Structure 1
Amino acid sequence: MYATNYHRASSVQDAVKLKSEADEGKYLSGGMTLIATMKQRLAAPSDLVDLRHIPDLKGISVNGKSVRIGAAATHFDVASSVELKAACPAICDLAHHIGDPHVRHMGTIGGSVANNDPAADYPAALLALDAVVVTNAREIKAADFFTGLFETALEEGEMIVAVTFDAPAKAGYAKFRNPASRYAMTGVFVARRDDGDVRVAVTGAGAGGVFRHSGMEAALAASWSPDALSGIAVDPSDLLSDIHANAEYRANLVKVMAKRAVAAA
Protein backbone atom coordinates (compact mmCIF):
# COMPACT_ATOMS: atom_id res chain seq x y z
CA MET A 1 0.00 0.00 0.00
CA TYR A 2 1.26 3.48 -0.87
CA ALA A 3 1.44 6.18 1.80
CA THR A 4 -1.71 8.24 2.28
CA ASN A 5 -3.02 10.96 4.60
CA TYR A 6 -6.00 10.11 6.79
CA HIS A 7 -8.69 12.64 7.76
CA ARG A 8 -11.73 12.06 9.98
CA ALA A 9 -14.53 14.35 8.82
CA SER A 10 -16.97 15.68 11.42
CA SER A 11 -19.66 16.93 9.02
CA VAL A 12 -20.68 16.73 5.38
CA GLN A 13 -19.30 20.22 4.79
CA ASP A 14 -16.03 19.27 6.48
CA ALA A 15 -15.70 16.15 4.31
CA VAL A 16 -16.27 18.08 1.08
CA LYS A 17 -13.73 20.72 2.14
CA LEU A 18 -11.09 18.14 3.08
CA LYS A 19 -11.43 16.33 -0.22
CA SER A 20 -11.35 19.55 -2.25
CA GLU A 21 -8.05 20.47 -0.60
CA ALA A 22 -6.41 17.11 -1.39
CA ASP A 23 -4.42 16.39 -4.53
CA GLU A 24 -6.14 13.09 -5.21
CA GLY A 25 -8.51 12.54 -2.31
CA LYS A 26 -11.03 9.74 -1.86
CA TYR A 27 -14.01 9.42 0.42
CA LEU A 28 -13.75 6.41 2.74
CA SER A 29 -16.85 4.73 4.11
CA GLY A 30 -16.69 1.02 4.92
CA GLY A 31 -13.62 0.60 2.72
CA MET A 32 -14.64 -2.85 1.53
CA THR A 33 -13.43 -2.11 -2.01
CA LEU A 34 -11.15 0.90 -1.62
CA ILE A 35 -8.85 -0.54 1.06
CA ALA A 36 -8.50 -3.80 -0.85
CA THR A 37 -7.51 -2.02 -4.06
CA MET A 38 -5.08 0.17 -2.13
CA LYS A 39 -3.45 -2.92 -0.61
CA GLN A 40 -2.95 -4.27 -4.12
CA ARG A 41 -1.55 -0.89 -5.19
CA LEU A 42 -4.30 -0.54 -7.78
CA ALA A 43 -5.34 2.73 -6.14
CA ALA A 44 -3.12 5.38 -4.57
CA PRO A 45 -5.17 8.30 -3.20
CA SER A 46 -3.15 11.08 -1.64
CA ASP A 47 -5.76 11.52 1.10
CA LEU A 48 -8.59 9.48 2.63
CA VAL A 49 -11.57 11.36 4.08
CA ASP A 50 -13.35 9.08 6.58
CA LEU A 51 -17.14 9.56 6.52
CA ARG A 52 -18.07 7.03 9.20
CA HIS A 53 -18.28 9.52 12.06
CA ILE A 54 -20.62 12.07 10.47
CA PRO A 55 -23.95 12.07 12.39
CA ASP A 56 -25.97 13.33 9.39
CA LEU A 57 -25.01 10.25 7.37
CA LYS A 58 -26.29 7.77 9.94
CA GLY A 59 -29.70 6.40 10.77
CA ILE A 60 -32.75 4.88 9.09
CA SER A 61 -36.15 6.56 9.25
CA VAL A 62 -39.58 5.40 8.09
CA ASN A 63 -42.45 7.88 7.97
CA GLY A 64 -45.53 6.14 6.64
CA LYS A 65 -44.34 4.78 3.29
CA SER A 66 -41.41 7.21 3.00
CA VAL A 67 -38.07 5.55 3.73
CA ARG A 68 -34.73 7.30 4.23
CA ILE A 69 -31.50 5.37 4.77
CA GLY A 70 -28.40 7.34 5.71
CA ALA A 71 -25.39 6.72 3.48
CA ALA A 72 -23.28 5.54 6.44
CA ALA A 73 -25.83 2.93 7.50
CA THR A 74 -24.07 -0.43 7.46
CA HIS A 75 -25.49 -3.52 5.82
CA PHE A 76 -26.08 -4.83 9.34
CA ASP A 77 -28.04 -1.67 10.20
CA VAL A 78 -30.24 -2.19 7.14
CA ALA A 79 -30.70 -5.90 7.79
CA SER A 80 -31.63 -5.45 11.46
CA SER A 81 -33.89 -2.36 11.28
CA VAL A 82 -37.30 -3.23 12.69
CA GLU A 83 -38.93 -0.16 11.11
CA LEU A 84 -37.45 -0.91 7.72
CA LYS A 85 -38.44 -4.57 7.91
CA ALA A 86 -42.05 -3.54 8.48
CA ALA A 87 -41.96 -1.22 5.45
CA CYS A 88 -39.81 -3.18 2.98
CA PRO A 89 -38.59 -6.56 4.25
CA ALA A 90 -37.01 -7.35 0.88
CA ILE A 91 -34.22 -4.80 1.29
CA CYS A 92 -33.52 -6.09 4.81
CA ASP A 93 -33.21 -9.62 3.44
CA LEU A 94 -30.93 -8.33 0.68
CA ALA A 95 -28.62 -6.70 3.23
CA HIS A 96 -28.63 -9.80 5.42
CA HIS A 97 -27.06 -11.85 2.61
CA ILE A 98 -24.28 -9.44 1.66
CA GLY A 99 -20.82 -10.91 2.25
CA ASP A 100 -20.09 -12.19 5.75
CA PRO A 101 -20.56 -10.67 9.25
CA HIS A 102 -17.38 -8.59 8.96
CA VAL A 103 -18.48 -7.09 5.66
CA ARG A 104 -22.01 -6.46 6.94
CA HIS A 105 -20.76 -4.61 10.01
CA MET A 106 -18.26 -2.47 8.07
CA GLY A 107 -19.70 -1.98 4.59
CA THR A 108 -22.24 0.81 4.04
CA ILE A 109 -25.10 1.34 1.63
CA GLY A 110 -23.62 4.65 0.48
CA GLY A 111 -20.26 3.10 -0.29
CA SER A 112 -21.83 0.23 -2.21
CA VAL A 113 -24.05 2.52 -4.26
CA ALA A 114 -21.21 4.95 -5.03
CA ASN A 115 -18.90 2.11 -6.10
CA ASN A 116 -21.58 0.56 -8.34
CA ASP A 117 -19.91 -2.82 -8.60
CA PRO A 118 -21.71 -4.78 -11.38
CA ALA A 119 -22.27 -7.64 -8.93
CA ALA A 120 -23.45 -5.52 -5.98
CA ASP A 121 -26.94 -6.01 -4.55
CA TYR A 122 -28.16 -2.50 -3.68
CA PRO A 123 -28.19 -1.11 -7.26
CA ALA A 124 -30.90 -3.62 -8.20
CA ALA A 125 -32.95 -2.66 -5.15
CA LEU A 126 -32.67 1.07 -5.83
CA LEU A 127 -33.56 0.68 -9.50
CA ALA A 128 -36.58 -1.55 -8.76
CA LEU A 129 -37.79 0.68 -5.92
CA ASP A 130 -37.47 3.82 -8.08
CA ALA A 131 -35.27 5.23 -5.34
CA VAL A 132 -33.58 8.61 -5.16
CA VAL A 133 -29.90 9.04 -4.32
CA VAL A 134 -29.49 12.19 -2.22
CA THR A 135 -26.09 13.88 -2.40
CA ASN A 136 -24.65 16.98 -0.75
CA ALA A 137 -25.61 18.92 -3.89
CA ARG A 138 -28.75 17.38 -5.44
CA GLU A 139 -31.17 14.46 -5.74
CA ILE A 140 -30.65 11.87 -8.49
CA LYS A 141 -33.17 9.23 -9.57
CA ALA A 142 -31.71 5.72 -9.51
CA ALA A 143 -32.52 5.36 -13.21
CA ASP A 144 -30.15 8.26 -13.91
CA PHE A 145 -27.58 7.45 -11.25
CA PHE A 146 -26.14 4.13 -12.45
CA THR A 147 -24.39 4.83 -15.74
CA GLY A 148 -22.15 1.80 -16.35
CA LEU A 149 -19.70 -0.64 -14.78
CA PHE A 150 -18.31 1.08 -11.68
CA GLU A 151 -19.67 4.36 -13.08
CA THR A 152 -22.27 6.73 -11.64
CA ALA A 153 -23.62 10.23 -12.17
CA LEU A 154 -21.62 11.52 -9.18
CA GLU A 155 -19.48 14.52 -10.03
CA GLU A 156 -16.02 15.29 -8.63
CA GLY A 157 -16.26 15.95 -4.89
CA GLU A 158 -19.95 15.01 -4.71
CA MET A 159 -20.88 12.56 -1.97
CA ILE A 160 -23.95 10.48 -1.17
CA VAL A 161 -25.84 11.60 1.92
CA ALA A 162 -28.83 9.25 1.87
CA VAL A 163 -31.07 6.99 -0.18
CA THR A 164 -34.84 7.53 -0.19
CA PHE A 165 -37.78 5.61 -1.62
CA ASP A 166 -41.46 4.89 -1.08
CA ALA A 167 -42.16 1.45 0.34
CA PRO A 168 -43.70 -0.85 -2.30
CA ALA A 169 -46.84 -2.94 -1.90
CA LYS A 170 -44.73 -6.06 -2.51
CA ALA A 171 -41.05 -6.69 -3.15
CA GLY A 172 -38.62 -9.57 -3.22
CA TYR A 173 -34.98 -10.29 -3.98
CA ALA A 174 -33.14 -13.45 -4.93
CA LYS A 175 -29.55 -13.97 -5.99
CA PHE A 176 -27.26 -16.77 -7.07
CA ARG A 177 -24.20 -16.17 -4.92
CA ASN A 178 -20.59 -16.72 -5.78
CA PRO A 179 -19.63 -19.28 -3.11
CA ALA A 180 -16.40 -17.44 -2.22
CA SER A 181 -17.24 -13.73 -2.38
CA ARG A 182 -21.03 -13.99 -1.98
CA TYR A 183 -21.37 -11.38 -4.69
CA ALA A 184 -24.35 -11.86 -6.99
CA MET A 185 -23.48 -13.88 -10.07
CA THR A 186 -27.06 -12.93 -10.88
CA GLY A 187 -29.54 -11.17 -8.62
CA VAL A 188 -33.08 -9.97 -9.32
CA PHE A 189 -35.12 -7.48 -7.29
CA VAL A 190 -38.84 -7.23 -8.07
CA ALA A 191 -41.20 -4.56 -6.74
CA ARG A 192 -44.88 -3.77 -7.21
CA ARG A 193 -46.32 -0.42 -6.21
CA ASP A 194 -49.85 0.26 -4.95
CA ASP A 195 -50.79 1.64 -8.38
CA GLY A 196 -49.84 -1.64 -10.05
CA ASP A 197 -46.54 -0.42 -11.50
CA VAL A 198 -44.01 -3.27 -11.57
CA ARG A 199 -40.23 -3.00 -11.80
CA VAL A 200 -37.71 -5.79 -12.26
CA ALA A 201 -34.02 -4.97 -11.85
CA VAL A 202 -31.14 -7.33 -12.53
CA THR A 203 -27.63 -7.16 -11.07
CA GLY A 204 -24.55 -9.36 -11.55
CA ALA A 205 -25.46 -10.29 -15.11
CA GLY A 206 -25.46 -7.22 -17.35
CA ALA A 207 -22.40 -6.32 -19.40
CA GLY A 208 -23.27 -2.68 -18.72
CA GLY A 209 -24.17 -3.14 -15.06
CA VAL A 210 -27.59 -3.13 -13.40
CA PHE A 211 -30.60 -3.02 -15.74
CA ARG A 212 -34.38 -3.39 -15.85
CA HIS A 213 -36.15 -6.17 -17.77
CA SER A 214 -39.24 -4.76 -19.49
CA GLY A 215 -40.56 -8.15 -20.62
CA MET A 216 -40.71 -9.46 -17.07
CA GLU A 217 -42.25 -6.21 -15.87
CA ALA A 218 -45.08 -6.48 -18.37
CA ALA A 219 -45.71 -10.13 -17.52
CA LEU A 220 -45.83 -9.48 -13.78
CA ALA A 221 -48.04 -6.41 -14.24
CA ALA A 222 -50.56 -8.68 -15.94
CA SER A 223 -50.19 -11.51 -13.40
CA TRP A 224 -48.13 -11.23 -10.24
CA SER A 225 -46.92 -14.83 -9.94
CA PRO A 226 -43.75 -16.83 -10.68
CA ASP A 227 -45.60 -18.73 -13.40
CA ALA A 228 -46.15 -15.50 -15.32
CA LEU A 229 -42.42 -15.51 -16.11
CA SER A 230 -42.32 -19.01 -17.57
CA GLY A 231 -42.70 -17.84 -21.16
CA ILE A 232 -40.31 -14.88 -20.90
CA ALA A 233 -37.05 -15.08 -22.86
CA VAL A 234 -33.87 -13.44 -21.59
CA ASP A 235 -31.48 -12.32 -24.33
CA PRO A 236 -27.89 -13.34 -23.46
CA SER A 237 -26.27 -11.00 -25.99
CA ASP A 238 -25.87 -8.16 -23.47
CA LEU A 239 -24.94 -10.34 -20.50
CA LEU A 240 -21.56 -11.01 -18.91
CA SER A 241 -19.41 -14.03 -19.65
CA ASP A 242 -16.53 -14.76 -17.27
CA ILE A 243 -14.81 -17.57 -15.38
CA HIS A 244 -17.86 -17.94 -13.13
CA ALA A 245 -20.62 -18.25 -15.75
CA ASN A 246 -21.17 -17.58 -19.43
CA ALA A 247 -23.90 -15.33 -20.81
CA GLU A 248 -26.30 -18.18 -21.62
CA TYR A 249 -26.05 -19.55 -18.09
CA ARG A 250 -26.66 -16.10 -16.64
CA ALA A 251 -29.68 -15.65 -18.92
CA ASN A 252 -31.19 -18.74 -17.34
CA LEU A 253 -30.27 -17.50 -13.86
CA VAL A 254 -32.08 -14.21 -14.48
CA LYS A 255 -35.30 -16.11 -15.09
CA VAL A 256 -34.82 -18.49 -12.16
CA MET A 257 -33.90 -15.71 -9.71
CA ALA A 258 -36.83 -13.56 -10.90
CA LYS A 259 -39.24 -16.41 -10.16
CA ARG A 260 -37.72 -16.88 -6.72
CA ALA A 261 -37.91 -13.15 -6.02
CA VAL A 262 -41.61 -13.05 -6.88
CA ALA A 263 -42.20 -16.11 -4.70
CA ALA A 264 -40.35 -14.41 -1.84
CA ALA A 265 -42.44 -11.25 -2.29
Structure 2
Amino acid sequence: MYAVNYHRAASVADAAKLVTGGDAKLLSGGMTLIPAMKTRLAAPSDVVDLSRIKELQGVTVSGRTVTIGAATTHFDVASDDKLKHACPALAHLASLIGDPAVRYRATIGGSIANNDPAADYPAAMLALNATIITNTRQIAADKFFVGLFETALEDGEILTAVTFTAPAKAAYKKFRNPASRYAIVGVFVAKGEDGVRVAVTGAGDDGVFRSKEIEAALAKDFVASALDGVKVPATKLMSDIHASADYRANLVAVMAKHAVAAANA
Protein backbone atom coordinates (compact mmCIF):
# COMPACT_ATOMS: atom_id res chain seq x y z
CA MET A 1 0.00 0.00 0.00
CA TYR A 2 0.97 3.68 -0.10
CA ALA A 3 -0.09 6.95 1.49
CA VAL A 4 -3.73 7.80 0.82
CA ASN A 5 -6.19 10.23 2.37
CA TYR A 6 -9.21 8.45 3.86
CA HIS A 7 -12.55 10.26 4.23
CA ARG A 8 -15.71 8.90 5.84
CA ALA A 9 -18.61 10.69 4.16
CA ALA A 10 -21.56 11.62 6.37
CA SER A 11 -24.01 12.13 3.50
CA VAL A 12 -24.24 11.93 -0.27
CA ALA A 13 -23.76 15.69 -0.50
CA ASP A 14 -20.66 15.37 1.68
CA ALA A 15 -19.29 12.58 -0.50
CA ALA A 16 -19.90 14.62 -3.66
CA LYS A 17 -17.77 17.44 -2.26
CA LEU A 18 -15.00 15.11 -1.11
CA VAL A 19 -14.71 13.23 -4.40
CA THR A 20 -14.41 16.39 -6.50
CA GLY A 21 -10.94 17.13 -7.82
CA GLY A 22 -7.71 15.18 -7.64
CA ASP A 23 -7.75 11.43 -8.13
CA ALA A 24 -10.30 10.44 -5.49
CA LYS A 25 -12.16 7.13 -5.55
CA LEU A 26 -15.45 6.15 -3.95
CA LEU A 27 -15.37 3.17 -1.58
CA SER A 28 -18.43 1.08 -0.79
CA GLY A 29 -17.71 -2.56 0.07
CA GLY A 30 -14.15 -2.37 -1.19
CA MET A 31 -14.14 -5.82 -2.79
CA THR A 32 -12.45 -4.49 -5.94
CA LEU A 33 -10.84 -1.20 -4.96
CA ILE A 34 -8.87 -2.44 -1.93
CA PRO A 35 -7.24 -5.41 -3.74
CA ALA A 36 -6.47 -3.11 -6.68
CA MET A 37 -4.78 -0.65 -4.32
CA LYS A 38 -2.81 -3.41 -2.62
CA THR A 39 -1.42 -4.54 -5.97
CA ARG A 40 -0.99 -0.92 -7.11
CA LEU A 41 -3.35 -1.34 -10.03
CA ALA A 42 -5.15 1.65 -8.52
CA ALA A 43 -3.47 4.56 -6.77
CA PRO A 44 -6.08 7.13 -5.73
CA SER A 45 -4.99 10.22 -3.84
CA ASP A 46 -8.14 10.03 -1.69
CA VAL A 47 -10.68 7.37 -0.76
CA VAL A 48 -14.21 8.49 0.11
CA ASP A 49 -16.04 5.86 2.16
CA LEU A 50 -19.80 5.63 1.49
CA SER A 51 -20.51 2.64 3.72
CA ARG A 52 -21.83 4.61 6.72
CA ILE A 53 -24.34 6.74 4.79
CA LYS A 54 -27.76 5.55 5.98
CA GLU A 55 -29.66 7.14 3.09
CA LEU A 56 -27.85 4.75 0.72
CA GLN A 57 -28.94 1.62 2.57
CA GLY A 58 -32.07 -0.52 2.55
CA VAL A 59 -34.79 -2.02 0.37
CA THR A 60 -38.14 -0.30 -0.20
CA VAL A 61 -41.12 -1.93 -1.89
CA SER A 62 -44.14 0.22 -2.76
CA GLY A 63 -46.72 -1.74 -4.72
CA ARG A 64 -44.73 -3.26 -7.58
CA THR A 65 -41.95 -0.65 -7.41
CA VAL A 66 -38.72 -1.84 -5.81
CA THR A 67 -35.97 0.58 -4.77
CA ILE A 68 -32.65 -0.57 -3.34
CA GLY A 69 -30.05 1.79 -1.88
CA ALA A 70 -26.62 1.56 -3.46
CA ALA A 71 -24.85 0.75 -0.17
CA THR A 72 -27.17 -2.18 0.60
CA THR A 73 -25.06 -5.30 1.07
CA HIS A 74 -25.57 -8.52 -0.86
CA PHE A 75 -26.60 -10.18 2.40
CA ASP A 76 -29.32 -7.59 3.01
CA VAL A 77 -30.60 -7.94 -0.56
CA ALA A 78 -30.66 -11.72 -0.22
CA SER A 79 -32.43 -11.73 3.13
CA ASP A 80 -34.97 -8.92 2.73
CA ASP A 81 -38.47 -10.38 3.13
CA LYS A 82 -40.14 -7.62 1.10
CA LEU A 83 -37.83 -8.27 -1.84
CA LYS A 84 -38.26 -12.04 -1.54
CA HIS A 85 -41.98 -11.49 -2.05
CA ALA A 86 -41.77 -8.84 -4.80
CA CYS A 87 -38.82 -10.22 -6.78
CA PRO A 88 -37.45 -13.48 -5.36
CA ALA A 89 -35.15 -13.88 -8.37
CA LEU A 90 -33.04 -10.88 -7.33
CA ALA A 91 -32.85 -12.03 -3.71
CA HIS A 92 -31.74 -15.47 -4.94
CA LEU A 93 -29.11 -13.89 -7.21
CA ALA A 94 -27.62 -12.01 -4.26
CA SER A 95 -27.40 -15.22 -2.23
CA LEU A 96 -25.17 -16.78 -4.91
CA ILE A 97 -22.49 -14.08 -4.86
CA GLY A 98 -19.12 -15.00 -3.38
CA ASP A 99 -19.13 -16.34 0.18
CA PRO A 100 -20.60 -15.03 3.46
CA ALA A 101 -17.63 -12.73 4.09
CA VAL A 102 -18.14 -11.09 0.70
CA ARG A 103 -21.93 -10.89 0.99
CA TYR A 104 -21.76 -9.20 4.40
CA ARG A 105 -19.48 -6.46 3.07
CA ALA A 106 -19.95 -5.97 -0.68
CA THR A 107 -22.79 -3.79 -2.00
CA ILE A 108 -25.16 -3.77 -4.94
CA GLY A 109 -24.09 -0.26 -5.94
CA GLY A 110 -20.42 -1.14 -5.88
CA SER A 111 -21.02 -4.16 -8.09
CA ILE A 112 -23.08 -2.21 -10.61
CA ALA A 113 -20.67 0.75 -10.73
CA ASN A 114 -17.68 -1.59 -11.17
CA ASN A 115 -19.44 -3.56 -13.94
CA ASP A 116 -17.20 -6.60 -13.83
CA PRO A 117 -17.95 -8.67 -16.96
CA ALA A 118 -18.72 -11.73 -14.79
CA ALA A 119 -20.72 -9.95 -12.07
CA ASP A 120 -24.32 -10.97 -11.41
CA TYR A 121 -26.17 -7.72 -10.71
CA PRO A 122 -25.61 -6.10 -14.15
CA ALA A 123 -27.57 -8.95 -15.77
CA ALA A 124 -30.41 -8.43 -13.30
CA MET A 125 -30.51 -4.68 -13.93
CA LEU A 126 -30.70 -5.16 -17.69
CA ALA A 127 -33.32 -7.91 -17.54
CA LEU A 128 -35.45 -6.00 -15.02
CA ASN A 129 -35.25 -2.82 -17.13
CA ALA A 130 -34.03 -1.03 -14.03
CA THR A 131 -33.28 2.64 -13.62
CA ILE A 132 -29.93 3.57 -12.08
CA ILE A 133 -30.25 6.63 -9.85
CA THR A 134 -27.29 8.90 -9.12
CA ASN A 135 -26.90 12.12 -7.17
CA THR A 136 -27.49 14.09 -10.39
CA ARG A 137 -29.72 12.04 -12.74
CA GLN A 138 -31.47 8.80 -13.63
CA ILE A 139 -30.06 6.38 -16.23
CA ALA A 140 -31.82 3.47 -17.92
CA ALA A 141 -29.94 0.20 -17.47
CA ASP A 142 -29.83 -0.24 -21.26
CA LYS A 143 -27.69 2.92 -21.44
CA PHE A 144 -25.76 2.47 -18.21
CA PHE A 145 -23.52 -0.53 -18.98
CA VAL A 146 -21.11 0.65 -21.66
CA GLY A 147 -18.37 -2.00 -21.82
CA LEU A 148 -15.90 -4.01 -19.76
CA PHE A 149 -15.64 -2.28 -16.37
CA GLU A 150 -17.23 0.75 -18.03
CA THR A 151 -20.46 2.56 -17.24
CA ALA A 152 -22.18 5.83 -18.06
CA LEU A 153 -21.15 7.28 -14.68
CA GLU A 154 -19.23 10.52 -14.99
CA ASP A 155 -16.30 11.60 -12.81
CA GLY A 156 -17.54 12.45 -9.35
CA GLU A 157 -21.03 11.07 -9.97
CA ILE A 158 -22.36 8.89 -7.16
CA LEU A 159 -24.66 5.93 -7.68
CA THR A 160 -27.32 6.23 -4.95
CA ALA A 161 -30.00 3.60 -5.75
CA VAL A 162 -31.59 1.32 -8.31
CA THR A 163 -35.30 1.02 -8.95
CA PHE A 164 -37.47 -1.24 -11.08
CA THR A 165 -40.97 -2.61 -11.47
CA ALA A 166 -41.19 -6.14 -10.13
CA PRO A 167 -41.82 -8.57 -13.01
CA ALA A 168 -44.59 -11.13 -13.17
CA LYS A 169 -41.98 -13.87 -13.56
CA ALA A 170 -38.20 -13.91 -13.27
CA ALA A 171 -35.28 -16.17 -12.45
CA TYR A 172 -31.51 -16.24 -12.57
CA LYS A 173 -29.29 -19.21 -13.27
CA LYS A 174 -25.54 -19.29 -13.56
CA PHE A 175 -22.78 -21.75 -14.29
CA ARG A 176 -20.16 -20.51 -11.89
CA ASN A 177 -16.45 -20.82 -11.43
CA PRO A 178 -16.06 -23.16 -8.44
CA ALA A 179 -13.25 -21.05 -6.95
CA SER A 180 -14.37 -17.44 -7.40
CA ARG A 181 -18.10 -18.14 -7.82
CA TYR A 182 -18.17 -15.56 -10.57
CA ALA A 183 -20.36 -16.49 -13.52
CA ILE A 184 -18.76 -18.31 -16.41
CA VAL A 185 -22.25 -17.79 -17.82
CA GLY A 186 -25.20 -16.30 -15.97
CA VAL A 187 -28.65 -15.68 -17.46
CA PHE A 188 -31.41 -13.57 -15.93
CA VAL A 189 -34.86 -13.85 -17.54
CA ALA A 190 -37.79 -11.59 -16.73
CA LYS A 191 -41.34 -11.33 -18.02
CA GLY A 192 -43.02 -8.08 -17.13
CA GLU A 193 -45.11 -5.19 -18.39
CA ASP A 194 -42.60 -4.39 -21.13
CA GLY A 195 -42.39 -7.98 -22.39
CA VAL A 196 -39.59 -10.49 -22.06
CA ARG A 197 -36.05 -9.39 -21.34
CA VAL A 198 -33.05 -11.72 -21.10
CA ALA A 199 -29.60 -10.58 -19.99
CA VAL A 200 -26.34 -12.54 -20.00
CA THR A 201 -23.25 -12.03 -17.86
CA GLY A 202 -19.87 -13.78 -17.79
CA ALA A 203 -19.88 -14.49 -21.49
CA GLY A 204 -19.75 -11.31 -23.57
CA ASP A 205 -16.40 -10.02 -24.78
CA ASP A 206 -17.76 -6.52 -24.14
CA GLY A 207 -19.49 -7.30 -20.86
CA VAL A 208 -23.14 -7.86 -19.98
CA PHE A 209 -25.63 -7.95 -22.87
CA ARG A 210 -29.20 -8.80 -23.80
CA SER A 211 -29.83 -11.90 -25.91
CA LYS A 212 -32.20 -10.89 -28.70
CA GLU A 213 -32.44 -14.47 -30.00
CA ILE A 214 -33.65 -15.82 -26.66
CA GLU A 215 -35.94 -12.85 -26.06
CA ALA A 216 -37.63 -13.34 -29.44
CA ALA A 217 -38.24 -17.03 -28.80
CA LEU A 218 -39.63 -16.47 -25.30
CA ALA A 219 -41.82 -13.57 -26.42
CA LYS A 220 -43.78 -16.12 -28.46
CA ASP A 221 -44.04 -18.64 -25.63
CA PHE A 222 -42.46 -18.22 -22.21
CA VAL A 223 -41.58 -21.88 -21.67
CA ALA A 224 -38.23 -23.66 -21.67
CA SER A 225 -39.12 -25.74 -24.72
CA ALA A 226 -39.43 -22.55 -26.77
CA LEU A 227 -35.65 -22.39 -26.70
CA ASP A 228 -35.18 -25.78 -28.35
CA GLY A 229 -32.95 -25.20 -31.35
CA VAL A 230 -32.25 -21.55 -30.52
CA LYS A 231 -28.62 -20.75 -31.26
CA VAL A 232 -26.66 -17.97 -29.59
CA PRO A 233 -23.84 -16.63 -31.82
CA ALA A 234 -20.37 -17.21 -30.40
CA THR A 235 -18.80 -14.40 -32.42
CA LYS A 236 -19.05 -11.81 -29.63
CA LEU A 237 -18.44 -14.14 -26.71
CA MET A 238 -15.16 -14.44 -24.80
CA SER A 239 -12.76 -17.34 -24.74
CA ASP A 240 -10.46 -17.81 -21.75
CA ILE A 241 -8.94 -20.50 -19.54
CA HIS A 242 -12.39 -21.33 -18.16
CA ALA A 243 -14.39 -21.81 -21.36
CA SER A 244 -14.30 -21.20 -25.09
CA ALA A 245 -16.72 -18.89 -26.89
CA ASP A 246 -18.50 -21.89 -28.43
CA TYR A 247 -18.88 -23.54 -25.03
CA ARG A 248 -20.25 -20.34 -23.56
CA ALA A 249 -22.71 -19.97 -26.45
CA ASN A 250 -24.14 -23.38 -25.63
CA LEU A 251 -24.19 -22.58 -21.90
CA VAL A 252 -26.20 -19.39 -22.51
CA ALA A 253 -29.01 -21.43 -24.07
CA VAL A 254 -28.81 -24.10 -21.36
CA MET A 255 -28.85 -21.58 -18.48
CA ALA A 256 -31.70 -19.70 -20.15
CA LYS A 257 -33.76 -22.89 -20.25
CA HIS A 258 -33.08 -23.54 -16.57
CA ALA A 259 -33.98 -19.94 -15.73
CA VAL A 260 -37.29 -20.06 -17.61
CA ALA A 261 -38.20 -23.35 -15.93
CA ALA A 262 -37.44 -21.82 -12.53
CA ALA A 263 -39.44 -18.67 -13.34
CA ASN A 264 -42.47 -20.75 -14.28
CA ALA A 265 -42.15 -22.93 -11.22
How would you bin the TM-score normalised by the shorter chain?
over 0.9
Residue of structure 2 equivalent to 1:52:
51
* Residue type at the aligned position of 1:70: G
2:68 maps to what in 1?
A: 69
In structure 2, what residue type is equivalent to 1:7?
H
CA-based RMSD: 0.8
- 1:251 aligns with 249
Return the alpha-carbon distance in structure 1 between the equivalents of residues 255 and 36 of structure 2: 30
TM-score of the pair, normalised by structure 2? 0.98
CA deviations 1:41-89 (Å, max 9, x no partner) are 1111111000011111011000000000000000000000000010000
- The aligned counterpart of 1:17 is 17
User: What are the within-5 Å matches in structure 2 for residues 38-187 of structure 1?
Assistant: 38-187=37-186
Code of the aligned partner of 1:9: A
TM-superposed deviation, 1:11? 0.3
CA distance in 1, matches of 2:228, 2:46: 51
TM-score, L = length of structure 1:
0.98
Q: Tell me what 1:239 maps to.
A: 237
* 1:194 Cα deviation after fit: 4.0
| Structure 2: gaps (5+ residues) | none
Give the Cα–Cα distance (whole angstroms) in 2 for the partners of residues 2 and 209 of structure 1.
31
Q: Match of 1:15, as an amino acid? A: A
Give the distance between the partners of 1:230 and 1:222, measured in 2 at CA.
Answer: 13
Aligned AA (2:64): K
Partner of 2:225 in structure 1? 227
Task: State the distance in 1 between where 2:188 and 2:202 align.
Answer: 12
SS in 1 for 2:118: coil
Letter in 2 for 1:260: H
* In 2: Cα distance, 1:207 partner to 1:162 partner: 27
How far apart, in 2, do the equivalents of 1:165 and 1:202 lie? 18
Partner amino acid for 1:236?
A
Name the aligned partner's letter for residue 122 of structure 2: P
**1:5 positional shift:** 1.0
Structure 1 residue runs of 5 or longer lacking an equivalent are none
| Code of the aligned partner of 1:259 | K
Moved more, 157-166 or 224-233: 224-233
Amino acid at match of 2:36: T
Letter in 2 for 1:66: T
Determine helix, strand or coil for the equivalent of 2:226.
helix
CA distance, structure 2, for counterparts of residue 202 and residue 36 of structure 1: 26
SS in structure 1 opposite 2:116?
coil
**Matched residues in 1 for 2:11 and 2:159: separation?**
13
User: How many correspondences in the alignment?
Assistant: 263
CA shift, 1:2, in A, is: 1.9
Query: Post-superposition shift, 1:263?
Result: 1.1
Q: What is the CA–CA distance in structure 2 between the aligned matches of 1:73 and 1:263, rounded to whole Å?
A: 29
1:30 aligns with 2:29: yes
Q: Runs of at least 4 residues of structure 1 off by over 4 A?
A: none
Percentage of matched positions with identical amino acids: 66
Letter in 1 for 2:104: H
Please, which of 199, 203, 206 is the counterpart of residue 204 of structure 2?
A: 206
CA–CA distance in structure 2, aligned partners of residues 16 and 194 of structure 1: 35
